[in-house]
Chain A
Amino acid sequence: MQIVWKNYPLPFHPNAMPSALAAMAAGEQGKYWEFHDKLFGNQQKQTRDDFIRYAKELKLDVARFTQSLDGAKYKPQIAADQGEADKLGVTGTPAFFVNGRFLNGAKPFDAFAQLINAELTRLGRPVPPAAQKPA
């Protein structure tokens, strides 16, 4: 399975855009998901100082990180994701697309399992027993 992150910082979340920029800046140095986990683990600590602290903790090149963050280097890419989400009709987060099939909101495991199993079956792939829903 592959998980792809698409940025959809909601306009009424003031820290969402800076956090998205910071995570992309970490991703530039190969530590996107590590930074992602820092952000999710510290949802109340999302200031510029916090971002730089996380960058240090992840042993990133802090100067390069700060330059990318302050220069809003990934803003066009984030804006493109936002535009794509708007075009698709996504209005809230999180919004998932399992092989292009829409699943709205934070859904229980079963909702994912159902879609994933349906896709595996459609592709003629074996459905792992662990993922099968108990009757």
Chain B
Amino acid sequence: MSKKNRERREGKDDVEGVSQSAGSSWLPTVLAIASLVFAFYLWTDARRVEKETVAHLRSTDAAITQLTTQVAAARQQQKPQPQGPDPNKVYALKLDGAPVRGNPTAPIVIAEFSDYQ
């Protein structure tokens, strides 16, 4: 075998050596990329869950605020009820057929809502 040939064989060996070392580093790279992809998936999924939770909490907060406002409004509506009619208003009452006494042409008419007990 000539020197040239040997050199060529060595060169081939070198090439093989390189390709051998590349073959051994291929699996970890894929694993690393897969891990990264999986980690990215986990992260995006966590973000999604977080976003959904925040949105849910916001809608719950909004619902609570709305309920609180409604309860307050209902309380306010309830309060003036026992006070009865507005003393500053003039109400038109139906007086036909009701028992009347006094001067029928009098300028003052007092209507009394009452009961016998």
Q: How far is the CA of A5 from the CA of B95 in the complex (A)?
A: 9
A positions within 8 Å CB-CB of B: 1-10, 13, 15-16, 19-20, 23-24, 27, 32-33, 36, 39-40, 43, 46, 77, 80-81, 84-85, 88-104, 112, 116, 119-120, 123, 125
Interface size class of B (residues with CB under 8 A): 20 to 34
Whole-angstrom distance from the CB of A120 to the nearest CB of chain B?
7
17 A-B residue contacts at CB 8 Å?
Answer: A1-B108, A2-B102, A4-B110, A6-B98, A6-B113, A9-B115, A13-B115, A15-B116, A81-B98, A81-B113, A92-B84, A94-B113, A96-B111, A97-B113, A104-B85, A104-B87, A123-B107
Q: Which residues of A contact B84 (CB under 8 A)?
A: 88-92, 95, 102, 104
* Contacting pair B100 A4 (CB below 8 A): yes
A13 interface neighbour in B90, B99, B117, Cβ under 8 Å: B117
